[in-house]
């Protein structure tokens, strides 16, 4: 099975999104034929425990990960971001959060591109029509450069939840 067939087999939202992948960590073996860097990032996720220390992890010259713990926020505190030079792989180790996702063509840019952080920021009012993904332990979400995302949102707007999360960044400039 070639990588395009694997991608089509596991891709969720295929009628809405061109690229986004939402899948179970149990299926990461299906992505072995993707780029080496992409698969390296998935393998890192597979072996993490909720006791893994927070911090920055350099996995290779093209892959890094950040593990952090925080409380989810209300949707009215949300903003969107996207990245030009890397893809994000999001996964939670404990807790759960909503991530809002919208094509960047439908978002309103706030300010200039931050090249140091590889980050575009977008207005939060765009979230009214964005799709909502529930991120729970055992799954991962891959977001590409055309997918604006607003992570860390409360599942139920009135209840903040403690989340431990990892975001793997895979460079697209390799």
List the CATH number of the domain containing 139.
Answer: 2.60.120.370
pLDDT at 8: 45
* Domains held by the chain: number: 1
How confident is residue 4, by pLDDT bands cut at 50, 70 and 90? very low
Distances (CA, A) of 134 to 22, 33, 142, 144, 153: 10, 27, 13, 18, 9
**pTM (predicted TM-score):** 0.85
Q: Between these two residues, 30 and 131, which has the higher pLDDT value?
A: 30
Instruction: Render pLDDT for 8-53 as a digit per residue (tens, 0 to 9).
Output: 444 443 333 457 899 999 999 999 888 899 999 999 998 898 899 9
Task: Give mean pLDDT, residues 90-116.
Answer: 89
- Structure tokens, 49: 């425990």
Task: Give mean pLDDT, residues 121-138.
Answer: 81
pLDDT at 11: 44
Q: Which domain holds residue 27?
A: 3-171
Among 18-22, 64-68, 164-168, the range scoring the smallest mean pLDDT is 18-22
% of the chain with per-residue pLDDT over 90: 48
Could you please report the per-residue DSSP string of 14-26?
Answer: TTT-SS-EEEEGG
Q: For the chain, what is the mean pLDDT?
A: 84
Q: 132 pLDDT exceeds 90? A: no
Tell me the HSE value of 10 on the side-chain side, using a 13 A CA sphere. Answer: 23
């Amino acid at each position: 099975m070639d990588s395009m067939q694997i991608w089509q087999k596991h891709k969720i939202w295929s009628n809405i999104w061109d690229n986004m992948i939402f899948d179970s960590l149990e299926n990461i073996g299906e992505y072995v034929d993707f780029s080496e860097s992409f698969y390296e990032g998935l393998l890192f996720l597979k072996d993490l425990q909720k006791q893994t220390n927070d911090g920055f992890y350099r996995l290779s010259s093209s892959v890094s990960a950040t593990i952090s713990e925080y409380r989810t926020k209300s949707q009215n505190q949300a903003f969107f971001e996207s990245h030009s030079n890397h893809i994000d792989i999001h996964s939670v180790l404990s807790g759960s959060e909503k991530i809002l996702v919208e094509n960047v063509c439908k978002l309103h840019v706030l300010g200039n591109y931050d090249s140091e952080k590889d980050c575009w920021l977008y207005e939060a009012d765009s979230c009214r029509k964005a799709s909502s993904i529930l991120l729970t332990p055992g799954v991962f979400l891959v977001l590409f450069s055309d997918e604006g995302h607003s992570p860390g949102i409360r599942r139920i707007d009135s209840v903040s939840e403690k989340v431990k999360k990892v975001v793997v960044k895979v460079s697209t400039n390799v």
